[in-house]
C-alpha cells in the first residue's frame, strides 16, 4: 500500500496564484495524498477558491483562522491535523512537477531517509523560469547553519521516523528553524537532485531587500538560536559568503 503524504499549504490573499498551486498537486502521478490548506484570514476570495476545490476532491481539506496569525501558525495547524506518514510543504504561490511526490517518496523509502529535499527552479510572476537551483547532495546541522539549502517547497519528512515536528513561531526563517530541529535528531538531510518544483519570486528585487534579509538572519542566529556573538559572527559571515556565490 502506498504511503499517505500530507501536503501542508498556508494561504493568505493568494487568489492570483493558489489555483496553479492546487492544480499542480491534483496533477501528481502519486495519488495517495491529502492537501491540508489553512487560510490565515484572507480578505480576498482565496477561501472561496480553495473551498470550491475541496468540494470536488475530498483529499483537499480546508481550515481557516478568524484572525491573522502568520504562515507558521497556519502550517502548524495543518501539521497537527495531518494523517500522513510523510509531511511535505507547498506554499500557495509555488508549484510542483507532476513527478514530485512519486519520485521523492520512492527516494525516501529506498534510502530510509528522515528528511529530503530536491532541486528546483525559480520562476517570475509570469511563470517563466529564471534560474535553476541545485542544492548539495546532503547537509547536516552545522552546514545548514551556514546556508539554508533546503527549499521549503521541496522538503519532505518522515513522521514515522521523527514524529510530528512543528515550525517555531518566529517571524522569519521558520522553515530553516524546522530543518535545524529535525537535524538535531538525524545526521543528514538528503537531496534528490532532480528539478521537481517551481518557486515563484515576488516583485521585490534581491538588492532592495538584502539589508532586511541580513538583519533577519543575524537576529535568527542571536535571538532564536541564542548563539554566542563569536559563533553567530562565524555563521553570519559564512551565510554572506555563500549568498554572494549563490547570486553571482
What does the pLDDT look like over 211-247, one tens digit per residue?
A: 888 999 999 999 999 999 999 999 999 999 998 877 6
What's the pLDDT at 100? 98
| CB 182 within 8 Å of CB 115 | yes
User: Distance between CA 106 and CA 111 in Å, rounded?
Assistant: 8
Name, in order, each residue with C-beta under 8 angstroms of 161's C-beta and a sequence gap of 6 or more. 114, 186
Confidence at residue 243, expressed as pLDDT on a 0 to 100 scale:
86
Spans in the chain with pLDDT lower than 50: 203-208
Residue 207 has a pLDDT of 42
Query: Which pLDDT score, from 0 to 100, does residue 127 have?
Result: 79
pLDDT of residue 248: 59
Closest of 23, 19, 178 to residue 87, by C-alpha: 178
Confidence (pTM): 0.94
Distance CA 81, CA 105 (A): 20
Between 206-219 and 229-246, two packed helices, what is the crossing angle to 10 degrees? 160
Give the residue carrying C-alpha cell 510543504.
89
CA-nearest of 155, 151, 148 to 200 is 151
Contact 37, 63 (CB under 8 A): yes
Query: Could you give the CA distance from residue 13 to residue 57 in angstroms, rounded to a whole number?
Result: 22
- Alpha-helix runs per DSSP H in 88-228: 100-111, 141-146, 159-162, 174-182, 206-219
Amino acid at each position: 500500500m502506498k504511503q499517505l503524504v500530507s501536503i501542508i499549504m498556508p494561504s493568505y490573499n493568494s487568489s492570483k496564484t493558489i489555483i496553479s498551486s492546487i492544480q499542480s498537486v491534483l496533477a501528481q502521478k502519486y495519488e495517495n495524498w491529502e492537501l491540508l490548506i489553512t487560510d490565515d484570514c484572507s480578505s480576498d476570495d482565496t477561501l472561496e477558491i480553495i473551498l470550491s476545490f475541496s468540494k470536488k476532491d475530498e483529499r483537499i481539506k480546508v481550515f481557516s483562522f478568524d484572525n491573522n496569525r502568520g504562515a507558521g501558525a497556519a502550517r502548524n495547524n495543518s501539521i497537527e491535523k495531518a494523517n500522513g506518514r510523510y509531511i511535505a510543504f507547498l506554499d500557495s504561490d509555488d508549484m510542483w512537477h507532476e513527478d514530485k511526490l512519486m519520485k521523492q517518496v520512492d527516494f525516501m523509502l529506498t534510502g530510509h531517509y528522515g528528511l529530503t529535499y530536491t532541486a528546483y527552479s525559480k520562476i517570475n510572476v509570469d511563470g517563466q523560469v529564471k534560474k535553476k537551483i541545485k542544492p548539495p547532495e546532503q547537509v547536516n546541522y552545522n552546514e545548514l547553519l551556514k546556508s539554508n539549502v533546503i527549499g521549503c517547497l521541496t522538503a519532505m519528512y518522515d513522521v514515522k521516523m521523527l514524529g510530528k515536528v512543528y515550525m517555531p513561531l518566529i517571524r522569519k526563517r521558520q522553515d530553516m528553524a524546522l530543518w535545524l530541529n529535525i537535524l538535531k535528531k538525524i545526521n543528514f538531510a538528503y537531496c534528490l537532485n532532480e528539478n521537481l518544483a517551481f518557486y515563484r519570486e515576488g516583485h521585490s528585487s534581491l538588492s532592495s531587500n538584502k539589508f532586511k534579509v541580513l538583519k533577519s538572519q543575524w537576529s535568527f542566529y542571536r535571538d532564536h538560536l541564542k548563539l554566542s556573538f563569536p559563533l553567530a559572527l562565524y555563521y553570519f559571515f559564512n551565510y554572506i559568503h555563500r549568498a554572494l556565490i549563490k547570486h553571482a
